[in-house]
Amino acid sequence: AQSVTQPDIHITVSEGASLELRCNYSYGATPYLFWYVQSPGQGLQLLLKYFSGDTLVQGIKGFEAEFKRSQSSFNLRKPSVHWSDAAEYFCAVAGGSYIPTFGRGTSLIVHP
C-alpha cells in the first residue's frame, strides 16, 4: 500500500522568506512523487514530479523538491516566497498503482 503524510496543516511565512513544506511517503520501492498546488478558485496544478534520476527536481514558479530515499521524504522548497504563492499544497505518491494517493494538504499563508 502507498500513503502520504503532510505533517503541517498550516504554514505561515513572511513574503520574501524561504519556504519548506514537508512530505513523507510510504512505499516499498522507488515511487513516483508529485507536488500539486491548489490556488483559491482554481483547479489543482502540477508544480513538479520525480520518478528517477537527479533527486533534486525543479518545477514551475521557482519551486524545487528533493527526494531523500533514506528519509522517505519529498520536501518542497522555495528560496523566496511571493504573496501569490498563498495556496493549498498537496503531495502525492504513485507506487505500484496508477492511482496517485494524495496527502491532506498544507495551507500556505503569506504575510506581507
Partner 1 sequence: GAGVSQSPSNKVTEKGKDVELRCDPISGHTALYWYRQRLGQGLEFLIYFQGNSAPDKSGLPSDRFSAERTGESVSTLTIQRTQQEDSAVYLCASSLAGRSEKLFFGSGTQLSVL
Instruction: Using CB under 8 A, list all residues that contact partner 1.
Output: 6, 32, 34, 36, 42-46, 49, 51, 90, 94, 97-105
Give backbone dihedrals phi and psi of 85, rounded to 5 degrees, phi first: -80, -10
Q: Work out how close the CB of 58 gets to partner 1 at its nearest, in angstroms, rounded to a whole number.
A: 15
Q: Work out how close the CB of 65 gets to partner 1 at its nearest, in angstroms, rounded to a whole number.
A: 14
> What CA–CA distances, in Å, run from 97 to 31, 91, 94?
10, 16, 6
Nearer to partner 1, 32 or 77 (CB): 32
Nearer to partner 1, 49 or 77 (CB): 49
Grid cell listed for 69 = 530515499
Nearer to partner 1, 51 or 83 (CB): 51
